[in-house]
Amino acid sequence: MSRLWRASPLTYGALIAAAVLSVFPIYWMFVVASRSSDAMGQLPPPVTPGGNLGANISRLFANADAYFLTGLINSAIVATTVTVSVVFFSSLAGFAFAKLRFRGSNALLMVIIATMMVPTQLGIIPLYMLMTKLNLNDRLPAVIMPALVTGFGVFMMRQYAGQAVSNELIEAARVDGCGTARIYWNVVLPALRPAAAVLGLLTFMTTWNDFLWPYAVLNDPENPTVQLSLRALSDGYYQDMSQVFTGTAIATLPLLLVFVLFGRQIIGGIMEGAVKA
């Protein structure tokens, strides 16, 4: 590790190019969001921020077709619920797989890994029929329920629990008279906190971004997620691009905020998961 090749100026040049390409579309989104609506018809295209952000935001929230505020609130509800649930159930199952002995555990773990390869998105038609039957169409539980726990989450927590929680600690708690539930809550869960945080962040971002299934099941334009609001804005009869871009910028902002605050942990989580996979 210590004797990596030194990076040449050429490497730095290429990395700067990659970084600019990565960041530019996001930056430009904010540029257009802060301009007046005629900015889109200008050549050369504007690349510096203007002073219209406030006005665009108020026009966006006043737009009667987009239900943007509802979208934001709905997405916050969905993403938060799913995140809490995924972290809880994944860590619980991960703990069982890593630290408890039970018949069939290896085979069941293989099943879980295999489920990660299944394109479940292709099952949305019966899923839609199921939600219709349960009378949940157009309502948030239809979006939340299928996402409550993921194979990826279970696998990730199992990997982390295997190394982060020592068997001695669990034995000690058992000698002390703790049942498995208390061991999970008092011993394992605190030890899993770093991995749980990463899983939570990744889950929040994925859920916030989810499009296909909400698009299928939330048909009521008055009750969208924020991504569906964006769709309504973008497909709108007349296109006011500075307003649309204000929407995309606001929809992206929570993700960027999370990333700026916890980027190091997210990168660590992705890279650690990769080595083990």
Partner 1 sequence: MALQLDARPPATPGPRDTRLRRAGRLSRIDAKYSPYLYIAPFFLVFAVFGAWPLAYTLWVSLHDWDLLGSNPTFIGADNYTQLLADSDFWHSVVNTLGIFVISTVPQLLLALWLANMLNRQLRFRTGWRMAVLVPNVTSTAAVAIVFGVLFGREFGMINWLLDLVSVDPIGWKSNRFASWVAISAMVDWRWTGYNALIFLAAMQAIPRDLYEAAAIDGANRARQFWTITVPLLKPTIIFCVIISTIGGLQLFTEPRLFHSGTNPIRGGTLRESQTVTMYMFENAFAPYYNFGYGSAVAWLLFALIAIVAAINVLIIRRLGAGAKPDTGRKGGSR
Least Å from the CB of residue 52 to partner 1? 17
CA–CA dist 143, 227 (Å, integer): 13
Distances (CA, A) of 110 to 104, 114, 117, 182, 256: 10, 6, 11, 27, 35
Rg (CA), the chain: 23
- Residue 275 contacts partner 1 per CB under 8 A: yes
Among 51, 135, 175, 238, contact with partner 1 (rule: CB under 8 A):
175
CA–CA dist 160, 137 (Å, integer): 37
Distance, first Cα to last Cα, the chain: 21
Which range, of 48-56, 57-65, 190-198, 264-272, touches partner 1 by CB under 8 A? 264-272
Which range, of 51-59, 62-70, 105-113, 190-198, touches partner 1 by CB under 8 A? 105-113
CA–CA dist 35, 53 (Å, integer): 7
Least Å from the CB of residue 144 to partner 1? 11
Closer residue to partner 1, CB minimum distance, 55 or 256: 256
Give the number of other Cβ atoms within 10 Å of residue 61's Cβ. 15
Among 171, 194, 220, 261, contact with partner 1 (rule: CB under 8 A):
171
Residues 64-103 contacting partner 1, CB under 8 A: 89-90, 92-93, 95-97, 100-102
Residues 7-46 contacting partner 1, CB under 8 A: 7, 11, 14-15, 18-19, 21-23, 25-26, 28-29, 32, 40-45
Among 51, 126, 135, 238, contact with partner 1 (rule: CB under 8 A):
126
Residue 179: what are its φ and ψ, rounded to 5°? Answer: -80, 175
For Cα atoms 233, 33, 21, give the angle at the middle one, nearest 5 degrees. 105
Residues 199-258 contacting partner 1, CB under 8 A: 205, 208-209, 211-212, 215-216, 219, 226-227, 230-231, 234-235, 239, 241, 244-245, 247-249, 251-252, 255-256, 258
CA–CA dist 165, 71 (Å, integer): 40
CA–CA dist 87, 184 (Å, integer): 13
Residues 135-164 contacting partner 1, CB under 8 A: 145-146, 148-151, 154
Least Å from the CB of residue 34 to partner 1? 14
- Binding footprint of partner 1, residue count (CB under 8 A): 109
CA–CA dist 181, 105 (Å, integer): 18
Which range, of 48-56, 58-66, 166-174, 190-198, touches partner 1 by CB under 8 A? 166-174
Residue 244: what are its φ and ψ, rounded to 5°? Answer: -60, -45
Report the largest interatomic distance among the alpha carbons of the chain, rounded to a whole angstrom: 74
Closer residue to partner 1, CB minimum distance, 200 or 247: 247
